[in-house]
């Protein structure tokens, strides 16, 4: 069936919507939002890092670009959450394009350092930009009763969603599913195959006629835009944002760790990694001990690098090949 995946995606979005209507306990929406946000971030990282082999250490910078675009536009135009996501994605995508253009000659560790530097530069800029709160941070007051096309979106009695967290969870769920669809589409398209060729040998790919410059620019733009989309609702989720939380190293570490653990060769890798690691982190933070949070990431990374360097997906594929003889 040609459009089976798309149908599953639509069903999943409907499923997420049903969840918001059925589940009364808001806690699950808080936890779900964080895991879905990581899913988008990891999927975005994997487009450049997994398919193209360009390791981006500045994921937090792109995510924060989306978050601070939202803050600036809330302050300036008081725009709604959907518009924030679109604008955050557009600006972070533009940043991705510029980054890709400026770092064209850089590869391997030099590219990674350049992206890390980009995040630090952005953090410094934001810390000195008083309009978005500067180093002190700023509180964001989400609209109590947001409307979209004259339809009441959030209201306890008359809205589609009873509270703001349900709305945020639904939006992030939708964004996550669209991100996964984009990643899968890229993986199976000329772009994905071209990026794989770049990953193996950029010179060889160039010689074979792969337009490496164009593909890298497209990949950095799409990856940046998706990270920006993941970050855009952050301010509304936290209702307070400062450079410390928006540019947190945890985002950069998880964006890399999740695809590495899940597997970088397929769109499923970041999804599995985000679900596994995101859930483990949330559970350990709230039920066991908060310090375990980062320890879990470290230990799992070490284990997977040693036992399954191609991640869970790669490990399964290998074991399936093995069983076939």
Partner 1 sequence: MTRILANRVRVWLLGGLMAAAFVFSAPLATTAEAQSKDPIKVGFSMALSGALAGGGQQSLVAIQLWAEDMNKKGGLLGRPVELVFYDDQTNPKNVPGIYSKLLDIDKVDLIVSGYGTNLIAPAMPIAIEREMTFMGLFGMNANAKWEYEKYFSILPAGPDPAVGFSEVWFQAVQKKFQPKTIAVIAADAEFAQNLKEGAVRNAKAFGMEIVYEENYNPKTPDFTPILRAANAKKPDAIYIASYPNGSAGLVRALAEVGTDAKAVGGGMVGLQFAGIMAGLGPMLNGIANYDFFVPEPTMNLYPGASDLIDRYQAKVKAENLKVDALGYYLVPWAYANVDILGQAVQAVGSLDQDAIADYIRDNEFTSVVGKVKFGKNGEWDRPRTLVVQYQDITNNDLSQFSKAGTRKIMLPADISTGELQPFNDLRK
Task: Please give the residue ranges that form the binding site for partner 1 (CB under 8 A).
Answer: 25-27, 29-31, 34, 124, 127-128, 134-137, 139, 141-142, 163-165, 237-242, 244-245, 248, 250, 282, 285-286, 289-291, 293
241 touches 234 (CB < 8 A): yes
Nearest to partner 1 of 16, 140 (CB atom): 140
The distance of Cα 215 from the centroid of its chain, to the nearest Å, equals: 20
Cα(225)–Cα(98) distance, integer angstroms: 12
What's the min distance (Å) between Cβ of 145 and partner 1?
Answer: 13
What's the min distance (Å) between Cβ of 31 and partner 1?
Answer: 6
- Taking alpha carbons only, the member of 211, 198, 185, 173 closest to residue 38 is 173
What's the min distance (Å) between Cβ of 308 and partner 1?
Answer: 29
Task: Write the CB contacts of 182 (distance below 8 Å, at least 6 apart in sequence).
Answer: 43, 47, 222, 226
Nearest to partner 1 of 120, 213 (CB atom): 120
Cα(100)–Cα(88) distance, integer angstroms: 18
DSSP 139: E
Nearest to partner 1 of 126, 183 (CB atom): 126
Nearest to partner 1 of 63, 219 (CB atom): 63
Nearest to partner 1 of 13, 294 (CB atom): 294
List, as one string, the DSSP characters of 1-13: -TTHHHHHHHHHH
What's the min distance (Å) between Cβ of 215 and partner 1?
Answer: 34
What's the min distance (Å) between Cβ of 175 and partner 1?
Answer: 18
């Amino acid at each position: 069936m040609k459009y089976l995946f798309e149908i599953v995606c639509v069903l999943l979005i409907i499923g997420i919507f049903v969840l918001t209507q059925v589940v009364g306990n808001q806690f699950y929406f808080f936890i779900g939002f964080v895991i879905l946000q990581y899913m988008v971030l990891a999927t975005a990282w994997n487009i450049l890092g997994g398919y193209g082999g360009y390791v981006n250490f500045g994921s937090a910078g792109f995510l924060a670009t989306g978050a601070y675009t939202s803050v600036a536009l809330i302050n300036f135009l008081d725009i709604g959450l959907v518009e924030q996501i679109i604008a955050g994605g557009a600006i972070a995508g533009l940043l991705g394009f510029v980054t890709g253009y400026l770092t064209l000659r850089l590869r391997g560790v030099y590219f990674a350092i350049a992206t890390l530097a980009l995040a630090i530069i952005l953090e410094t800029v934001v810390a000195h930009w008083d309009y978005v709160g500067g180093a002190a941070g700023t509180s964001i007051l989400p609209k109590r009763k947001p409307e979209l096309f004259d339809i009441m979106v959030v209201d306890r009695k008359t809205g589609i969603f009873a509270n703001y967290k349900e709305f945020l969870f639904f939006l992030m769920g939708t964004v996550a599913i669209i991100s996964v669809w984009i990643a899968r589409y890229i993986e199976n398209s000329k772009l994905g195959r071209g990026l794989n060729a770049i990953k193996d040998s950029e010179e060889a790919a160039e010689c074979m006629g792969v337009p490496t410059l164009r593909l890298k620019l497209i990949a950095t733009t799409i990856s940046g835009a998706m990270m920006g989309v993941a970050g855009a609702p952050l301010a509304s989720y936290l209702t307070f944002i400062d450079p410390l939380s928006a540019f947190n190293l945890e985002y950069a570490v998880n964006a890399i760790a999740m695809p590495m653990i899940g597997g970088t060769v397929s769109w499923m890798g970041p999804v599995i990694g985000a679900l596994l690691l995101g859930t483990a982190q949330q559970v350990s933070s709230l039920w066991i001990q908060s310090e375990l949070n980062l320890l879990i990431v470290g230990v799992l990374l070490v284990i997977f690098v040693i036992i399954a360097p191609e991640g869970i997906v790669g490990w399964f594929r290998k074991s399936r090949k093995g069983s076939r003889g």
